[in-house]
A and B are shown apart, each in its own frame.
Chain A
Amino acid sequence: MSISEPGGTRSEDALLTEGISAGAPAAGFGAAGRGPKLLTGGGRRATAVSTASTLVVLAILVAIFLAAPGSSQVRHTFFDPHDMWQSFVGDPAKGYYSVGEAIWLNIRMFLAAEVLILILALVIALIRQSTGPALFPLRVLAMIYVDFFRGVPLLLVVYAIGFGVPALRLSFVSSQSYAVYGVIALTLSYSAYVSEVYRAGLNSVHQSQVAAARSLGLSKSTALRYVILPQAVRNIIPPLLNDFISLQKDTALVGVLGAIEANQAAQIYGSTVFNYSSLTVAAILFLILTIPLARFTDSLIDRDRRRRLAGAVT
């Protein structure tokens, strides 16, 4: 949406700016209730109000938690500092693994799957967007692929690949680690989603850009590579990152195969020591991974919005 015809989006964006600038003072008046003078202090006031309300809500939630009849039990089972530390560092001699170490497997699986997904999804999207009659069978296959892997739960795909492929007893493909099968399952499933994101991005580039590129004598593939794809990818970075935040968490599903990733390590600790603070540790580690990516996505969306508003002013 951000990059379309130079002439086309101006009026929309101008309206948007007006909407925002008209909306902001109105909200300020409403909050302050006493005219423009208070508007200057509105920023600090608003911060104070939001901080106070956040603290109140938090305090209420903590109070409910502490006052609950089973509170001390839950605190012991899920938030015991000693068990949290023990599960974080691990102790193979006592039969459990370090959750802190196991998260590296999640990160490695995530990074590998991400690269593979970006490539496979693009190929699928380009096949689905193709128009040549010779590619018709491929288009049908791509469509079936997307329908299938978007429809089947990821967990089932993980099981099918992780237990099915080794059972085939093929020489090379059947002797990989569970992490490899996990990455394959994640890639198969997520590529179906991400190919649709790519497709939306390709469709968001105005047809006049294709005409302009082709009219200069650029071939179809050159036009795609230098003119269409860069604009498409720029438009879909936020939804792509959103899918990757989700992918980071879903690496935990590979644990069902027996791969020692963070979630699996935490469960092993729980069933060995009978304390589930390890799961809290795993949750915290996943949060540490996903929150920065989430904030980064937000900032990209903000930047894109600001750029569009700036474009409307000039």
Chain B
Amino acid sequence: MSAAEPAPAAPPGSAIEVADVHKSFGANEVLRGISLSVAAHEVICLIGASGSGKSTLLRCINLLEPISSGRICLLGQDVTVPGVDANAVRRQVGIVFQSYNLFPHMTVLRNVTLAPAKALRMPKAQAEDAAAELLARFGLADKRDEYPDRLSGGQQQRVAIVRALAMQPQIMLLDEVTSALDPELVAEVLDVIRELASGGMTMIIATHEMGFARDIADRVCFLEEGTIIEDAPPAELFTDPKDDRTRRFLRRIVEAGRL
């Protein structure tokens, strides 16, 4: 965190500031000038077809992918300048993936305590107490000694969320966290996210669950081909979309019975 102190450009209260971000994989330009500002405690949902750039944007914000051009400020710090301590940045920004990605060779408890113990150098007992508390809060107290392959998909995803929360992040990025789940397991994960939102967590959520996005989001962004086509409160975006492309996308969603 020593590399760059709060950048003056960031507006006060803005937790995430994405400015004209481009990202290419070889010749394939996945993000084509994304700009997005997220205030503290705000919940943003990203919607759009697969391949529209939602996941890539989240991975760029977490510095898992280097951006090609543009700027990303997190909590007032420009994290895209050279020399930024990516590990320190990631400790403040939790990300949860579609495929859970729990560590299969560790128990639930160890999955959750590994990062606090190794990255924050938290004493073992303290890390375990904190983890047990989080697991209990999300109804996973009795699973602490299980291995991930003994859990249902919904339980695994809740553990993945707890694992990210154990680092006490300021920001959470959720990348289609319910897409790999059986339909009957989706609700338990969405409940967890609702609880996080009501607790004031700043979140960007890439999702295909339109009903959920309408419920929970302060703003919904519709992405297509690596650009944000429309950025509006859910009531507005879902009922009165301004752009033709948004309308077309929503019509397909309605036809598919997903809204």
Q: Which residues of A contact B (CB under 8 A)?
A: 3, 5-8, 208-209, 211-219, 222, 226-227, 230-231, 234, 311, 314
For residue B163, which residue of chain A has the nearest CB?
Answer: A216
Does B222 interact with chain A (Cβ within 8 Å)? no
Report yes or no: B149 in contact with A7, Cβ–Cβ below 8 A: no
Number of B interface residues in the complex (CB < 8 A)? 32
B76-122 contacts to A (CB < 8 Å): 86-88, 90-91, 94-95, 97, 99-105, 114-115, 118-120
Question: With A and B bound together, what is the CA distance between A211 and B149 in angstroms?
Answer: 19
Task: Give min CB distance, B34 to chain A, whole Å.
Answer: 20
The residues of A that contact B94 with a CB separation of less than 8 Å are 215-216
Given A212-B103, A218-B118, output 13 extra A-B contacts at Cβ < 8 Å: A6-B156, A7-B99, A7-B180, A8-B99, A208-B97, A208-B99, A209-B103, A211-B97, A214-B86, A215-B164, A216-B114, A222-B118, A314-B149
Report yes or no: A6 in contact with B105, Cβ–Cβ below 8 A: no
For residue B120, which residue of chain A has the nearest CB?
Answer: A217
A5 partner, pick from B62, B64, B87, B101, beta carbons under 8 A: B101
Report yes or no: A215 in contact with B150, Cβ–Cβ below 8 A: no
The residues of A that contact B118 with a CB separation of less than 8 Å are 218, 222, 226
Question: With A and B bound together, what is the CA distance between A175 and B118 in angstroms?
Answer: 45
With contact pairs A3-B105, A231-B105 given, residues A218 and B114 touching in the complex (Cβ less than 8 Å): yes
The residues of B that contact A6 with a CB separation of less than 8 Å are 99-100, 102, 104, 148-149, 153, 156
Report yes or no: A209 in contact with B149, Cβ–Cβ below 8 A: no
Question: With A and B bound together, what is the CA distance between A300 and B45 in angstroms?
Answer: 47
The residues of B that contact A234 with a CB separation of less than 8 Å are 105
Question: With A and B bound together, what is the CA distance between A218 and B87 in angstroms?
Answer: 6
Report yes or no: A311 in contact with B87, Cβ–Cβ below 8 A: no
With contact pairs A234-B105, A314-B149 given, residues A214 and B180 touching in the complex (Cβ less than 8 Å): no
Question: With A and B bound together, what is the CA distance between A77 and B21 in angstroms?
Answer: 82
Task: Give min CB distance, B89 to chain A, whole Å.
Answer: 8
Report yes or no: A215 in contact with B104, Cβ–Cβ below 8 A: no
Q: Is the interface of A mostly helix, strand, loop or mixed?
A: helix
The residues of B that contact A311 with a CB separation of less than 8 Å are 149
With contact pairs A3-B104, A217-B87 given, residues A212 and B97 touching in the complex (Cβ less than 8 Å): yes
The residues of A that contact B99 with a CB separation of less than 8 Å are 5-8, 208
15 contacts between A and B (CB under 8 A): A3-B104, A6-B148, A6-B149, A7-B100, A7-B153, A209-B103, A211-B101, A214-B64, A214-B90, A215-B62, A216-B91, A217-B90, A218-B87, A218-B118, A311-B149
Q: Which residues of B contact A (CB under 8 A)?
A: 59, 62, 64, 86-88, 90-91, 94-95, 97, 99-105, 114-115, 118-120, 148-150, 153, 156, 163-164, 167, 180
A209 partner, pick from B101, B115, B150, beta carbons under 8 A: B101
- Number of cross-chain contacts by CB at 8 Å: 79
Task: Give min CB distance, A190 to chain B, whole Å.
Answer: 26
Report yes or no: A222 in contact with B119, Cβ–Cβ below 8 A: yes
A219 partner, pick from B62, B87, B103, B163, beta carbons under 8 A: B87
Task: Give min CB distance, A309 to chain B, whole Å.
Answer: 12
With contact pairs A230-B105, A234-B105, A314-B150 given, residues A217 and B115 touching in the complex (Cβ less than 8 Å): yes
Report yes or no: A217 in contact with B119, Cβ–Cβ below 8 A: yes
With contact pairs A6-B148, A7-B153, A7-B180 given, residues A212 and B101 touching in the complex (Cβ less than 8 Å): yes
For residue B180, which residue of chain A has the nearest CB?
Answer: A7
Central interface residue in A215, A226, A311, A314, by most chain B CB within 10 Å: A215
Question: With A and B bound together, what is the CA distance between A214 and B164 in angstroms?
Answer: 11
The residues of B that contact A222 with a CB separation of less than 8 Å are 118-119
Question: With A and B bound together, what is the CA distance between A306 and B103 in angstroms?
Answer: 20
With contact pairs A5-B99, A6-B100 given, residues A215 and B64 touching in the complex (Cβ less than 8 Å): yes
The residues of B that contact A208 with a CB separation of less than 8 Å are 97, 99, 101
Task: Give min CB distance, B117 to chain A, whole Å.
Answer: 9
Report yes or no: A211 in contact with B64, Cβ–Cβ below 8 A: yes
The residues of A that contact B59 with a CB separation of less than 8 Å are 211
The residues of A that contact B115 with a CB separation of less than 8 Å are 216-218
Task: Give min CB distance, A40 to chain B, whole Å.
Answer: 32
For residue B166, which residue of chain A has the nearest CB?
Answer: A216
The residues of A that contact B167 with a CB separation of less than 8 Å are 216-217
The residues of A that contact B164 with a CB separation of less than 8 Å are 215-216
Task: Give min CB distance, B110 to chain A, whole Å.
Answer: 9
Question: With A and B bound together, what is the CA distance between A215 and B100 in angstroms?
Answer: 12
Task: Give min CB distance, A226 to chain B, whole Å.
Answer: 6
For residue A4, which residue of chain B has the nearest CB?
Answer: B104
Task: Give min CB distance, A244 to chain B, whole Å.
Answer: 22
Report yes or no: B95 in contact with A215, Cβ–Cβ below 8 A: yes
Question: With A and B bound together, what is the CA distance between A276 and B87 in angstroms?
Answer: 66
For residue A3, which residue of chain B has the nearest CB?
Answer: B104
Central interface residue in A6, A216, A222, A314, by most chain B CB within 10 Å: A216
The residues of B that contact A226 with a CB separation of less than 8 Å are 114, 118
The residues of B that contact A5 with a CB separation of less than 8 Å are 99, 101
A227 partner, pick from B64, B91, B103, beta carbons under 8 A: B103
The residues of A that contact B148 with a CB separation of less than 8 Å are 6
Question: With A and B bound together, what is the CA distance between A219 and B148 in angstroms?
Answer: 23
